[in-house]
């Protein structure tokens, strides 16, 4: 019985030891499993966060795509309106080009006609200018001839004036040389002129004095004589 009990005790002890080892092993595996579970939970949470962020970005992208589609639709509508406006402008430009072409044709004809008129006027002006130049040349020649005649006349008058000046200088020199004699002659002639004036004044009054007065004897009438040098002066 002791032997059996000992064997049982030894078996139980071995079983406990093996169970302890197995338990330790299981605990270690459980710990590893919990650790892996925590890692899996972390990865799950990370994936969930990533999924949420992705869903949020997708929603944002969908909103942006919707806005972009709306903007694109508005731009397409604006483009259609712009194309219609461009077509209208093109039509107006073509009409303006046609009008400009017509105006240019009319203007070109007017310019040619005006050029012909100007050319004709220029030819007429040149002809008139030549005639005017010829007339001016003729008048200038006539004026030169007239000036030459006047110059000749002036020169003759100058020569005559010089001759008279020389004669006057000669008379002045003669007068200076015979000043006393000429002064006596001029004084006598002046006195006779005064006397004659008095005689004429008195003769106008018959009763003022007798016919023969002492004044007549004092200032007899001057006899007529030829003009002297003083009268010439």
What tens digit of pLDDT does each residue of 81-97 get?
A: 989 999 999 999 999 99
What tens digit of pLDDT does each residue of 18-52 get?
A: 667 777 888 888 888 888 888 888 888 888 888 88
Domain ranges of the chain: 152-206+215-232
Model confidence at 225: pLDDT above 80: no
Model confidence at 5: pLDDT above 50: yes
From the number of C-beta atoms within 10 Å of its C-beta (0-12, 13-18, 19+), residue 126 rates as exposed
Greatest mean pLDDT range, 10-19, 53-62, 168-177, 189-198: 53-62
Structure confidence at residue 166 (pLDDT): 85
User: Considering the chain, what percentage of its residues have pLDDT values greater than 70?
Assistant: 75
- Confidence category of residue 223, pLDDT binned at 50, 70, 90: very low
Model confidence at 107: pLDDT above 70: yes
Q: Distances from the Cα of 3 to the Cαs of 6, 15, 17, in angstroms?
A: 5, 18, 20
Please state the three-class secondary structure of the chain as a single string.
CHHHHHHHHHHHHHHHHHHHHHHHHHHHHHHHHHHHHHHHHHHHHHHHHHHHHHHHHHHHHHHHHHHHHHHHHHHHHHHHHHHHHHHHHHHHHHHHHHHHHHHHHHHHHHHHHHHHHHHHHHHHHHHHHHHHHHHHHHHHHHHHHHHHHHHHHHHHHHHHHHHHHHHHHHHHHHHHHCHHHHHHHHHHHHHHHHHHHHHHHHHCCHHHCCCCCHHHHHCCCCCCCCCCHHHHC
In this prediction the pTM is 0.29
Structure confidence at residue 116 (pLDDT): 92
How far, in Å, CA of 79 to CA of 74, rounded?
A: 8
């Amino acid at each position: 019985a002791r032997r059996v009990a000992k064997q049982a005790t030894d078996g139980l002890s071995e079983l406990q030891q093996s169970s302890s080892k197995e338990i330790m092993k299981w605990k270690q595996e459980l710990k590893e499993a919990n650790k892996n579970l925590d890692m899996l939970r972390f990865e799950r949470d990370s994936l969930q966060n990533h999924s949420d962020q992705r869903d949020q970005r997708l929603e944002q992208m969908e909103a942006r795509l919707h806005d972009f589609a709306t903007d694109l639709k508005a731009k397409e509508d604006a483009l259609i309106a712009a194309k219609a406006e461009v077509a209208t402008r093109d039509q107006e430009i073509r009409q303006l080009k046609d009008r400009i072409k017509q105006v240019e044709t009319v203007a070109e004809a007017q310019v040619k006609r005006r050029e012909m008129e100007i050319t004709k006027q220029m030819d007429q002006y040149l002809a008139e200018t030549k005639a005017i130049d010829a007339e001016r040349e003729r008048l200038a020649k006539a004026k030169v001839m007239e000036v030459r005649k006047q110059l000749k006349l002036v020169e003759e008058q100058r020569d005559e004036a010089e001759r008279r000046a020389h004669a006057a200088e000669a008379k002045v020199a003669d007068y200076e040389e015979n000043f006393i004699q000429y002064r006596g002659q001029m004084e006598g002639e002046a006195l006779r002129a005064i006397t004659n004036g008095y005689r004429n004044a008195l003769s106008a009054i018959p009763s003022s004095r007798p016919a023969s007065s002492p004044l007549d004897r004092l200032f007899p009438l001057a006899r007529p004589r030829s003009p002297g040098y003083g009268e010439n002066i």
